[in-house]
Amino acid sequence: MTTCTALPPGWLAGVLSGLGATGDEVAQTLREGGATGTPTDIWDDPVASYIRRRVRDLAGPDALVAVMVTSDDVMVTTAATSLDPGACQELLAETPEAVDDFLTRFDAGEDYQDLLRASAA
């Protein structure tokens, strides 16, 4: 049975605030982290990709990870590859204004097209 390391409370809010204070700063952090994604895909935009990678660094490569990013909230769900419901964790944090700005411009195709996933280009 694979175990999953629990993410500390406040971890998600810290990651989100660390992305940057403006949409441009968020984009730069995502570039530096190698995150790409698909416009308007709340499960696979560059922010979700970046957070998913950070979660795997902490929770382990075998953890099941889902990340959903909307203009209101970001939700991370992790689970071990067991059927034990107690091995599951969910974190929720408010989407910072800078991340929302980035997503709005990325989804509209206005900016940050270099962060498009190759198959979405």
This prediction's pTM: 0.87
Whether 29 contacts 17, CB under 8 Å: no
Quick: pLDDT tens for 12-49. Answer: 999 999 999 999 999 999 999 999 999 999 999 999 99
- What percent of the chain lies above the pLDDT cut of 70? 88
Taking alpha carbons only, the member of 45, 96, 94 closest to residue 67 is 45
Average pLDDT of span 103-115: 96
Q: CA-CA distance, 37 to 1, in Å (whole number)?
A: 31
Q: CA-CA distance, 108 to 104, in Å (whole number)?
A: 6
